[in-house]
Amino acid sequence: MSETSELWQIKLVLEFFSSRSHQERLQTHPKRGLFMNSEFLPVVKCSIDNTLDQWLQAGGDVCLHAYLSGQPWEESQLSMLACFLVYHSVPAPRHLPSVGLEGSTSFAELLFKCKQLKMPVRALLRLAPLLLGNPQPMVM
């Protein structure tokens, strides 16, 4: 994974296939107009999740912490950091709450701080272990 434009495309397809309108259409017209095998998408999502989790475990968490706290990060990590931020809809540092996400003591406090960011809950679930000091990603 090195290009965010391809990741945006995949993210859009994943969002479309999980949308309520698409699910309702499938119920009324099964197998009509499908341009992709529905079994393919979970495999793609799992592959992206695994790749990003491996990056976090291999030191990407340090880069992400630097990003979230407005500190400089390693140039060599820029591509994967960008992919993580795009995939999980993490806003630019200037749009993060002034109180800071790090230093939260509970998921509820973190959720309260992120409410105004309009981040998807799945993104917050992925970030929460890092921000709360638990290196394991939360199960989604």
Q: What per-residue confidence (pLDDT) applies to 139?
A: 45
Q: What per-residue confidence (pLDDT) applies to 130?
A: 78
Question: Which three-class secondary structure string do you get for the chain?
Answer: CCCHHHHHHHHHHHHHHHCHHHHHHHHHCCCCCCCCCCCHHHHHHHHHHHHHHHHHHHHHHHHHHHHHCCCCCCHHHHHHHHHHHHHCCCCCHHHCCCCCCCCCCCHHHHHHHHHHHCCCHHHHHHHHHHHCCCCCCCCC
pLDDT at 138 over 50: no
- Per residue in 61-86, pLDDT (tens digit) is 888 888 877 788 888 888 899 999 88
- Per residue in 14-48, pLDDT (tens digit) is 877 776 665 666 667 666 656 666 678 888 888 99
pTM of the model: 0.72
